Structure 1
Amino acid sequence: MYAVFMNGGKQYKVKIGQILRLEKINHKIGKIIEFNTILLVKKNKEIFLGQPILKNTVIQACIYKHGREKKIHIIKFNRRKHYKKKQGHRQNYTSIKITNINLFKE
């Protein structure tokens, strides 16, 4: 069984027990969160497809850890113009563990 859901403008394919990195979510570690914008669920050989999202379907996840990605370097450079600009960026993330996929929750 797997599901495709949307969070922060991105789509993620997940299974139960999978650990996934998302953009920062402002909740404490250990808190259970729910995602309601599920686009697709595949259970055994059946595929449930939302138009655009599935109603009464919820993915539950537990917040596993917060952190920051590795630094990326942004360099802007124009030759012969005496112009060079260097910048760095570290993106915050939240790791979650998928605990349950409730299909057609009442």
Structure 2
Amino acid sequence: MYAIIVTGGKQYRVQKGDVVFVEKLNAEEGSTVKFENVLAVGGEGDTKVGAPNVEGASVEAKVVKNGKGKKLNIITYRPKKGSARRMGHRQPYTKVEITAING
């Protein structure tokens, strides 16, 4: 059984046991989160598609870790001005493990 969920403005296709890196959630490590925005649920020849969400469907996941991604180096350059600026960015994420798909 699989589900398509929406979190952090992105869509993820998940199954039970999957480990997914999603946008940062306000949840502690070891806690359980519930995703209510389920666009579709499918399984053995049976697929339910919502308009926009499937009624009564949810996905439960356990928070494994909160962290930051790899550092990206951004250089802003202005030609003919002798001006350049270096910036770095590390995107925060939450690593979750899917424990149950209801619906």
TM-score scaled by length of structure 2 = 0.95
Q: How far off its partner does 1:4 sit?
A: 0.4
Q: How far off its partner does 1:77 sit?
A: 1.0
Number of residue-to-residue matches in the alignment = 103
**Structural RMSD (CA):** 0.8
Check if 1:60 corresponds to 2:70: no
TM-score scaled by length of structure 1 = 0.93
Q: How far off its partner does 1:78 sit?
A: 2.2
- CA distance in structure 2 between the partners assigned to 1:40 and 1:26 by the alignment: 25
List alignment gaps of at least 5 residues for structure 1: none
Match of 2:102 in 1: 102
- CA distance in structure 1 between the partners assigned to 2:7 and 2:67 by the alignment: 18
| Structure 1 outlier segments of 4+, above 2 Å | none
- CA distance in structure 2 between the partners assigned to 1:9 and 1:43 by the alignment: 25
- CA distance in structure 2 between the partners assigned to 1:30 and 1:86 by the alignment: 37
- CA distance in structure 2 between the partners assigned to 1:41 and 1:13 by the alignment: 10
- CA distance in structure 1 between the partners assigned to 2:85 and 2:28 by the alignment: 37
List alignment gaps of at least 5 residues for structure 2: none
